Chains A and B, each alone.
Chain A
Amino acid sequence: MSEQLKVPTMAEMMAEGRKPEILFWVGSAGSYDDRAKKITKAFVKILNKANVDFAVLGTEESNTGDVAKRAGNEFLFQMQAVMNIEVLNGYEIMRIVTCDPHSFNCLKNEYPGLGGHYEVIHHTQFIKDLISSGRLTLEGNTYKGKRITFHDPCYLGRGNGVYEAPRDVLKKTNATLVEMKRHKNTALCCGAGGAQMFKEPEKGDKDVNVLRTEEALETQPEIIATGCPYCNTMMTDGVKSKEKEDQIKVLDIAELIADA
């Protein structure tokens, strides 16, 4: 990405006495993981292109505690949550958008009980709104006729019932959307959830991401679209294990739309 990204922080906004329309929650993966950082930047590119008045917390953001909670460490989760809520409420944040379904679920469903009440939106929902309200226009040539299959992230789909937003966005690219046998509420997990991302899998006869990649490959896609940084890593590894990385790309919806 050659052009300079405009990424204002809440602290800067506050100093100027301004309030953004929405806070972009980058998340730990989006901030530090090399692959996920590309998704973060692609989404910012979209936000800049659509002139969205947004801000990030920057160095004031901390891990949501979601992965600690799923690992069983409720204590660490609540410590993180209470800290983050203090920062978010301090800035009087009302709306949050994030590229990570795990942060999305955690902020939306598990923060309210601890005093954090926000309207939380997944980036695929936000992009859909940008397109339908005319703030973002796509040329619609880059992916015309390409076969794309969408892998539902568990915490977006089953976890929160969001199945259509990512698909609606993909249809806007004029691509051919092909569904895997297991999709929407029966979609198979990529294998990263529940803190599995950070540990070796238990003994078995296959890795979950390989099985899911096989299911994706059955649709003979040119692109596997994801909506979660962890799914993206898992599916990328899966495609590599099948030695298909030259033919099949694994891209987040933000990356697809940033170039559409």
Chain B
Amino acid sequence: MRILFKTSYLDDIRLFQHEGQMLWYGLLGLAVLAAPWLLPVFYLGELTQILVLAVAGVGLMLLIGYTGLVSLGHGAFMAIGAYTNTYLLTKGVPFLVAFPLAGLAALVAGIVIAVPANRMSGIYLAIATLAFSQIVEQVIVRWESVTRGFQGMTVPPPDLLGQPLTQGWQVYYVALAVLVLVVLGAINLVRSPTGRALVAIRDSEISAQSLGVNLLRYKTTIFALSACITGLAGALLAHRMRFISPDAFNYLMSVQLLLMVVVGGLGSIHGAILGAVFVGALPQAIALGREYLPTAIGRTPGLEPGLFGLVMVLIVLFEPLGLYGRWLKVKAFFDYFPLYRRATFKRQRSYLKTERVR
């Protein structure tokens, strides 16, 4: 077990708490950098998909895991990002301009929905965001002059300083770079006053407010930021798919994103990444596993969504803290061996709360 000896306030806010972390994250960094040489093209594409999902996952994690606002409509922000990016690229705007504008478009949409939505909470907010995503889907279907409706749009390859990036590994590096920047931004945010204000809103709105947190302002900010990051993920996803149509971003996408953050573990950036890996890799695992199953089961249509649902239910039932929570438990087991007690992670009974005044 490692005991951290802190001698400066900086020790609490540095990115890596100790050398061990630096080593492991360094190895992880090397592995993802070397992936194009190590993986066949198909699996590199799947890994790109995971990176893109992770970007969206971080965006949604800030909203759901840190602020406690549930959105069932984040697929719509992905759609807005994807269509803005694609439309601008077809008009000849360079990728380095179109991509941030895609995020900006999603951010504006986020503010538009956040202002009314933030007067709601819990299930009502979820329903409002779901309705919003339906509206966006319909707009994309009808606004044919821009989106070409159900015909869909072919996505031009991203370009960097005039060079088109047509290869799979080039898109992979673009996605990786975006993910690293987004993760760093998110980590920085959650270790600063705004991040703490978000956690405060999640755990007790009334005392957050009495400590000077402007609820409406922070909720709107985080909604917009979350939408922006998700929009960037949508733009990346468009490049990965090379062809977008309205049904690529329907409510199933929103549910998949929600599934990701819940399975990964609410309230941690790690959770968003682990959830993306899980959700991104599971279809492949199922596809590989099918061959070993009896034909009657292996060829059943709808096996993937069915298993998806089953896994979701099992994780919520048996590991409410998600994959990252499970990892923490395993780590604690070895850290404190042989003193680990199951009760360490047991939900403590919570003491009485004041009646909610609003």
- Say whether A and B bind each other: no
Which residues on A are within 8 Å of B, measured CB to CB? none
Which residues on B are within 8 Å of A, measured CB to CB? none
